[in-house]
């Protein structure tokens, strides 16, 4: 499925809600995992692209020694402002930068990391080519993508509920973009087209998604992602009612108390 322009619009209230609700719901454990993989290679210079509100950045700052430099970038200035405001336990260089046109010289970094960002690249091969260009010959690119929506239970329930709520025009942001780019064979093909010739490691990583209530999970998904843009495009006044409908669906599946669902991602690392 092709992206719509709104799929990349993390604006207005979304960055704050994303950081407050969505990060602990689905992103934190994968940030720990990816930072551990990066740190295992002991890179002196690390570039993070599509850093969002800085969940991976914070884990990199913990996992890497102080002597390792970290440059964290994102095209979306409001998301990066949230990352700066939250901060890290040590110095990080924050820069607004386009992953498809990185403002860095060839071979500058020992590692490039990207947490759930490559699926938003309008041109995947171009983005991968830029990563390869700024990597040193013995460097490595680490990134993860969400697996199929069917393997991510809370999101799957939310999308199904919204398909009921907007029966004539279901919002499909989640299956189209976050969960629409997960085929390892296709991803490796694009990495090769971008010039990567080294080994590609692929790991499927399952984890748990937990929230104190169905309402928190529904609010995170419906209001803390560009799915909100799709809901409001259909009916500007329907956001609360749509979130209520998703809340009821999640509670119906997982109960009225704390919720706990499966999440699953695919983790890649590749040498130039």
> Which CATH number does the domain housing residue 239 bear?
3.40.50.150
Instruction: Calculate the alpha carbon distances from 46 to 15, 130, 185, 235 in Å.
Output: 24, 15, 26, 43
Domain of residue 257, residue span: 5-270
In the block, tokens 């071979």 appear at 107
Fill in the DSSP letter of residue 22: I
pLDDT value of residue 1: 46
pLDDT value of residue 191: 98
For residue range 222-239, list pLDDT tens digits in order.
999 999 999 999 999 999
Give the sheet arrangement for strand 259-270, strand by strand.
93-96, 69-74, 45-48, 109-115, 135-146, 259-270, 200-211
pLDDT value of residue 12: 54
Whole-model pTM above 0.85? Answer: yes
Token pair belonging to 257: 């108390």
147 CB-near residues (< 8 Å, 6+ apart): 179, 182, 204, 264, 265, 266
Residue numbers of the chain with a pLDDT score lower than 50: 1-2, 4-11
pLDDT value of residue 14: 81
pLDDT value of residue 44: 98
For residue range 179-217, list pLDDT tens digits in order.
999 999 999 999 999 999 999 999 999 999 999 999 999
In the block, tokens 């080519």 appear at 129
Task: State the Cα–Cα distance between residues 48 and 142, nearest whole angstrom.
Answer: 9
The number of distinct structural domains making up the chain is 1
């Amino acid at each position: 499925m092709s992206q719509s322009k709104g799929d990349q619009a993390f604006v207005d209230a979304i960055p704050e809600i994303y950081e407050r609700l969505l990060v602990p719901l689905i992103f934190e454990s994968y940030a720990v995992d990816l930072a551990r993989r990066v740190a295992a290679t002991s890179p002196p210079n690390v570039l993070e692209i599509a850093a969002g509100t800085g969940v991976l950045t914070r884990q990199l700052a913990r996992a890497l020694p102080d002597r390792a430099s970290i440059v964290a970038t994102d095209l979306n200035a409001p998301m990066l402002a949230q990352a700066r405001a939250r901060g890290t336990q040590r110095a990080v260089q924050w820069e607004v930068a386009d992953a498809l046109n990185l403002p860095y010289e060839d071979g500058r970094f020992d590692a490039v990391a990207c947490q759930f960002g490559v699926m938003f690249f309008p041109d995947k091969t171009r983005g991968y080519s830029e990563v390869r260009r700024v990597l040193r010959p013995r460097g490595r690119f680490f990134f993860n993508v969400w697996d199929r929506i069917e393997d991510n239970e809370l999101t799957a329930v939310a999308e199904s509920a919204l398909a009921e709520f907007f029966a004539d025009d279901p919002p499909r942001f989640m299956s189209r973009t976050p969960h629409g780019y997960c085929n390892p064979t296709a991803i490796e093909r694009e990495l090769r087209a971008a010039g990567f010739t080294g080994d590609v490691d692929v790991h499927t990583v399952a984890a748990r998604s937990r929230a104190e209530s169905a309402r928190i999970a529904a609010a995170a998904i419906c209001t803390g992602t560009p799915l909100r843009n799709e809901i409001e495009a259909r009916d500007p006044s329907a956001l609360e009612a749509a979130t209520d409908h998703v809340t009821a669906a999640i509670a119906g599946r997982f109960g009225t108390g704390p919720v706990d669902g499966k999440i699953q991602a695919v983790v890649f690392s590749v040498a130039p």
